[in-house]
Amino acid sequence: MGETVLKMEGIDFSFDHQTVLEGVDLEIQKGDFLALVGPNGSGKSTLLKLALGALKPDRGKVSLFGVPLRRFRDWSRIGYVSQKANSFNRDFPATVREVVASGLYGKLGLFRRMKKEDWKRVEEAIKQVGLESLSRRNIGKLSGGQQQRAFIARALVSDPEFLILDEPTVGVDTRSVDEFYRLLAHLHRKKGMSLLLVTHDIGVVTTYVNRIACLNRRLFFHGDTDEFVGREKEVFTAAYGHPVQVVEHAH
Amino acid sequence: MIEMILHYGFMQRALAAGVIIGVVSPIVGLFLVVRRLSLIADALAHVTLSGVAAGLLLQKQFPAFQALNPMVSGMVFSLTASVFVERLRRLYRSYQELAIPVILSGGIGLGVVLISAADGFNVDVAGYLFGSILAVGESELWVIIGTGVLAGLVICFFYKELFALSFDEESAVLSGIPRRLVHLLFSLVVALVITASIRVVGILLVSGLITLPVAASLQIATSFRQALWLSVLFAQISVLSGLAAAFYFDWASGGTIVLVSVLILLAVAGGKRLIRPGSGKTGAA
């Protein structure tokens, strides 16, 4: 087995005296495409924040690429598309190009300006998500699906090995959603990228991902998709507290 | 006007001060506006009033402070306040704008008390309130030049970090951009620029020079760079008109600058509607 990209062990987290997460163990190996599913308020976004060091667990250990989070500095190896990407200021004066370029700034570091080859990488990332004809358009004027792809490009531009997406398809129309998943599948299969996707689209993801984790305060399932399919009713009933209608999209 | 500028020292100083302020104010303003912090400029300007009053009081009471330029004490006050704004904002998670009236009224309150305690000054306090570009002295010009250079350097060196933090703070921080350092440096630059602008537009109108050219540029800019250059262009037109109005008609420079900025904003917004009807509203299509 290859490198472990993300390892979370025995994570407990509470907020305002409410237990949000309890004894969560999550592991993502290099080349995995894992979907993290669970009901609203199940602690999915919190788990991501803990994985990225934006929150500190009450108990448990987190490591990225084998390095304890406390000492991890190599943030350019990780791309992150937040849920908030949908709620940015749509009057912000910025083109797709400018927004995508900002994904490189952390990696470039202070006092280094964008060079020609950096802009080339920006153009490549934009091309990868199929927005090249819109690269000089104002980002606020794009459709929801196009904006989403611009944010993926921003995450991709620093050439990350591990991409984390927090409910990226909320507010995106169905056709764009399918296109979007195909893009993720492409990154996974062709580029060998490891992905962690938080999502509500339970039916769709089983087509694309190879690993599934089902969370509701604690993990109710964490394993291969093949193992999950056929057991989903039982897992979801346990995790959600009631049976869940799994909607399959036609492909 | 060109011969006049060559002829009179005060015109040369006024022009230099106006051009420098007309570059740095709208640039700083753009970053403030897109982060929805444009009112901070107003709050800090009012704190500067108390700093200026404190400087004048020191001058009056203690001969040792004769050489102190009130602009310097104004700067010290607004620098201190700029650091506190962030702290105050964190005090209330959902009422972040409360920091602004707290600082604004605190600044003006202290300023008024200091002025009354001094029982009047030899200098014209109104010059600080409303600005008088033709009265920029040599030492003040040096303060303005220093501020311009410093602000220019910080914005050049941290342009990409400032942009990333303004657009999406969460992602910027996660990508490894040092938020605290950049925010701190930027707040210090804001405080300096506001104080330096006071001679040109006055305490009461500083926020106009900082936000109005930006407001006009946001109507038509597609990219951030465009917004930047357009707001500088609009600010230069306003400042030079203010200078001309002050020289030829003896009008208040600050008032003219702000009025011209308002006219530019109206013209840009109106022109946009004429060219592309229905595009008056910005935002998601």
Q: What is the ipTM of this complex?
A: 0.84
Domain count for chain A:
1
Q: What is the pLDDT along chain A (251 residues), one digit of tens a residue?
A: 578 999 999 999 998 888 999 999 999 999 999 999 888 888 888 999 999 888 899 999 999 999 999 898 888 889 988 876 667 888 899 999 999 999 999 888 888 889 999 999 999 999 988 899 999 999 999 988 888 889 999 999 998 999 999 887 776 777 777 888 888 888 898 888 999 999 877 777 788 888 999 888 888 888 888 888 877 777 878 887 777 766 555 44
Tell me the shortest Cα–Cα distance from B143 to chain A, in angstroms.
26
Residue B164 lies in a domain: yes
Cα torsion angle, B275, B276, B280, B284, sign: negative
pLDDT for the residue numbered A235: 81
Residue B178 lies in a domain: yes
Query: pLDDT tens digits, residue range B2-42?
Result: 776 678 888 899 999 999 999 999 999 999 999 988 888 89
Residue A180 lies in a domain: yes
Tell me the shortest Cα–Cα distance from A1 to chain B, in angstroms.
28
pLDDT, averaged across chain B: 88
Band of residue B283 on the pLDDT scale cut at 50, 70, 90: very low
Residue A249 lies in a domain: no
Residue A251 lies in a domain: no
Tell me the shortest Cα–Cα distance from B38 to chain A, in angstroms.
14
Q: Is A248 helix (H, G, I), strand (E, B) or coil?
A: coil
d(CA B11, CA B243): 9
Residue A94 lies in a domain: yes
Contact B283 A113 (CB under 8 A): no
Residue B93 lies in a domain: yes
Contact A105 B227 (CB under 8 A): no
Count of alpha carbons within 13 angstroms of residue A137, beta-carbon side: 16
Residue A142 lies in a domain: yes
B160, pLDDT greater than 90: yes
Beta bridge partners of A211: A34, A224
Contact A91 B176 (CB under 8 A): no
Residue B129 lies in a domain: yes
A102, A111, A154: residue with CB nearest B157: A111
Contact A136 B225 (CB under 8 A): no
A75 has a chain B CB within 8 A of its CB? yes
CATH number at residue B214: 1.10.3470.10
Average pLDDT score over residue span B65-78: 87
d(CA B213, CA B218): 9
Tell me the shortest Cα–Cα distance from B274 to chain A, in angstroms.
20
Query: Which residues in B lie closer than 8 A to residue A111 (C-beta atoms)?
Result: 157
- Structural domain for B49, as ranges: 2-275
CATH number at residue A10: 3.40.50.300
Q: What percent of chain B has pLDDT over 70?
A: 95
> What string of DSSP letters covers A40-65?
TTSSHHHHHHHHTTSS--SEEEEEET
A111 has a chain B CB within 8 A of its CB? yes
Query: pLDDT tens digits, residue range B210-240?
Result: 999 999 999 999 999 999 999 999 999 999 9
Contact B168 A85 (CB under 8 A): yes
Contact A91 B158 (CB under 8 A): no
Contact A76 B172 (CB under 8 A): no
- Structural domain for A178, as ranges: 4-240
Radius of gyration of chain A (CA): 18
B174, B223, B224: residue with CB nearest A54: B174
Residue B13 lies in a domain: yes
Residue A246 lies in a domain: no
Residue B285 lies in a domain: no
Domain count for chain B:
1
